[in-house]
Structure 1
Amino acid sequence: MKHLQGLIAAPFTPMDRLGAVNTTLIPEYYRLLKTNGVKGAFICGSTGEGVSLTLAEKKAVTAAWAACTKGDDDFKVMLLAGGTCLADCRELAKYAYEEGLYAISFTAPFYFKPASVAALADCCAEVAAAAPQMPFYYYHIPVLNGVHFPMYDLLKAVDGRIPNFAGVKYTHEDFMDFLSCMNFREGRYDMLWGRDENMLSALAIGAKGAVGSTFNYAAPLYHRLIEAFNNGDLERAAQLQQQSIDMIRLLGKYGGIATGKAYLKLIGLDCGAFRLPVSNMTNVQFESFRADVAALGFDQFKSRPAARTHT
């Protein structure tokens, strides 16, 4: 399996003013990511509100990303097929293959949780088998799905059993487990880092690819961080990581994950609001947020908007 490198964004799902999915914005979104050197998109994940979308809506988002990225082999689109209903996950995996996406992903069921690593491996096997021609990634995010098994144990359980198991999108802070996964079977599996605020630490132990929400609107910051690290300028890399942390702290200050859409709005792409149960900031809060963002020097490292196309 190919090991992906560079920044892979976790896009927000665009919504219109009535809260309906607005796929017409997705081509512009793709151009924004390409303009800023992003190498792929992890769609319908946490940032993309996949758990709040219907099966039909996830298919519509999949089709829109597939259509605008068709022929761009350098830009990898992977779909989070879900986690709770395995039948829906299998259907989405097949659909992703039919539409020509690069890969599928799956996270643990989070209502009836798997009681063991073996049970989680069984779930992975079912979904992966629905699209055996595609790379399959497990999405490890215990802070949201409540499933805390070490990924090293999962790799041991799936190794040799799931031919298209490509690796793990690792959104957790267990560097011991992450490094063990990177070294498993002499680096057989692709380990994609998923904590933007800890990227420097992941680079230090060998991470090459990362999936993150803040790459949507601050990709230049992370390109500079990676460049400083690769050049051995650890002091500069640490300063850039602190800028990332300061930016991410505002997510918490203004209510959490929905704040990311406010950042995106500041660079010119308005993807609407998050659906309930996620709360969105008020107009008054947005003005306060805008001031806080300006104080960070956001204009110095924000993503550049894509050139408008004319038809």
Structure 2
Amino acid sequence: MIIKKIEGLIAAPFTPFDENGDLNLEQIPAYYQSLKSNQVKGGFICGSTGEGVSLTFQEKVAVVQAWSTLTKTDPDFKLIVLLGGTNIRECIELAKISEEEGVDAISFTSPFYFKPANVGQLAACCVEIAAAAPNTAFYYYHIPVLTGGNYPMIDLLKAVDGVIPNFAGIKYTHEDFMDFLSCMNFAGRKYDMLWGRDENMLSSLILGAKGAVGSTYNYAAPLYHDLISAFNAGDFERANALQQKSIDMITLLGKYGGISVGKTYMKLIGLDCGKFRLPIKNMSQEQFVAFQSDVAELEFASFSSK
């Protein structure tokens, strides 16, 4: 399989819920159009931001089908499905369904209850799952802060190289720049390394990253387009300032409760994705008032997605 490397921004969409906490699939067409109009190149669905671990298997299938219906005929938009991590059999089943639906890529993250004893065991999981969708690109999703699977990714690449024909690369959501660069340079830069820390994008660009997957690209894509343009033009002072703006925006997530605050940012650009499911805590109405004040001070409207 010839793997074409991804360049540009890939958003990690939120899964839309209605007021009862059920799937609101009717929101997805408008969501897709919003990403397209803001020059986002794809979506990484059912991931951390998409609450994949809080969805039933049937809900994941429904989300995949809702997105793939829109994207399967769009060669300019890459749809990547996070299959999960803990239940390998379910990952295999969803991999098969995803290939049938014509998605561009599938992804798998480290099992986080019964953890692989070593990289070899992790690679064995990847082998079985990737084989279930042999005609679809396969990405490993490295996010040890959530999975506890803090394996060197350079060791994983060595373990799967020449073994998994459709292994495309890694979505790298970690701060180990030494490991990231080693992965980028491995086997003549064979594999696609997608950066996964929005607040550290500038550092990844310096190392040569071309593609990135992140949650804040859902609602602040223009900020990152400007950052990339400034970097490419050699205007490092402006790139620095734009990265700081990203950090200031992301700091508000921590101030007001974490990942769920992203859905509040989405409301500000006109896409109501509902609330996060338990065990995640959502913002109170009192917090929302204070949040709006902080967002105005940040001048969010000047760089938000439209």
Correspondence for 1:292: 294
Query: Does 70-79 or 138-147 show the bigger shift?
Result: 70-79
CA distance in 1, matches of 2:270, 2:262: 13
Amino acid at match of 2:141: Y
Q: Which runs of 5+ in 2 are unaligned?
A: none
Correspondence for 2:66: 64
Give 3-state SS (helix, strand or coil) of 1:185's partner: coil
Correspondence for 2:173: 171
Task: Select 1:130's aligned residue among 129, 132, 152.
Answer: 132
CA distance in 1, matches of 2:257, 2:128: 36
Report matched runs for 1:15-26 at 5 Å.
15-26=17-28
User: What is the deviation of 1:283?
Assistant: 1.0
Correspondence for 1:42: 44
CA offset digits 1:207-259 (Å, max 9, x no partner): 00000000000000000000000000000000000000000000000000000
CA offset digits 1:144-171 (Å, max 9, x no partner): 0000001000000000111100000000
CA distance in 2, matches of 1:65, 1:27: 8
Correspondence for 1:308: none
Report matched runs for 1:109-120 at 5 Å.
109-120=111-122
TM-score, reference length from structure 1: 0.97
CA distance in 2, matches of 1:250, 1:201: 21
User: What is the deviation of 1:71?
Assistant: 1.1
User: What is the deviation of 1:172?
Assistant: 0.2
CA distance in 2, matches of 1:26, 1:127: 27
Correspondence for 1:251: 253
Give 3-state SS (helix, strand or coil) of 1:11's partner: coil
Task: Select 1:189's aligned residue among 161, 180, 191.
Answer: 191
CA offset digits 1:72-122 (Å, max 9, x no partner): 111000100000000100000001111111000000100000010000000
Report matched runs for 1:274-285 at 5 Å.
274-285=276-287
CA distance in 1, matches of 2:161, 2:108: 17
**Would you say how many aligned residue pairs link Structure 1 and Structure 2?**
304
CA distance in 1, matches of 2:21, 2:208: 41
Report matched runs for 1:1-311 at 5 Å.
1-304=3-306
User: What is the deviation of 1:261?
Assistant: 0.3
User: What is the deviation of 1:284?
Assistant: 1.1
Amino acid at match of 1:77: L
Correspondence for 1:307: none
Q: Which runs of 5+ in 1 are unaligned?
A: 305-311
CA distance in 1, matches of 2:43, 2:246: 20
Amino acid at match of 1:175: F
- Which aligned runs of 4 or more in structure 1 are off by greater than 6 angstroms? none
Give 3-state SS (helix, strand or coil) of 1:271's partner: coil
CA distance in 2, matches of 1:147, 1:185: 24
After superposition, the CA RMSD in angstroms is 0.4
Give 3-state SS (helix, strand or coil) of 1:71's partner: coil
Amino acid at match of 2:238: R
User: What is the deviation of 1:26?
Assistant: 0.4
User: What is the deviation of 1:70?
Assistant: 2.8
User: What is the deviation of 1:287?
Assistant: 1.1
Amino acid at match of 1:201: S
